Amino acid sequence: MRKVIVMTAILALTACGQESNDKIQPAKVASESTTVQVPVAHWALEITQGQRATITDTTGRLIEHGFNNFISERDGVKHFLIGPYATEAQALEAQEQIKLKPKLEGIETNVVELPAAK
């Protein structure tokens, strides 16, 4: 009986050592890579002109409902944008979500492509 217990313990310890070495090798390989590709956001929703609410009121309502917004200046003109989004499909989905929320009624948007970063 003792021999069986000792053999089982030896096998268990051997197997444990094997697994830990297998886990260490992939970790070393993963730490060697230095290139990381981050998705770039190229799309946003532009709030159209003619809004009756102030920017602070609109910003507060958007933040309340989980929509990030920012002001971008292009060619000397300030644009009030929601986003940014990685794909046009994500921007269109956010535009639909805004239309469905009663407290965001009156906020009209257009999907716009953001200029590439220089």
Q: Can you read off the two tokens belonging to residue 1?
A: 């009986």
Burial class (CB in 10 A: 0-12, 13-18, 19+), 107: buried
Model confidence, pTM: 0.61
The alpha helices in the chain, defined as continuous H runs, are 2-32, 55-64, 88-100
Mean pLDDT of successive 10-residue segments in the chain (118 residues)? 64 56 54 54 82 77 91 88 94 94 88 82
Q: Can you read off the two tokens belonging to residue 67?
A: 């929509």
Distance set, CA 28 to CA 5, 18, 20, 69, 85 (Å): 35, 16, 13, 40, 34
pLDDT of the residue at 64: 92
pLDDT of the residue at 113: 92
> CA-CA distance, 11 to 60, in Å (whole number)?
63
pLDDT of the residue at 58: 86
pLDDT of the residue at 9: 62
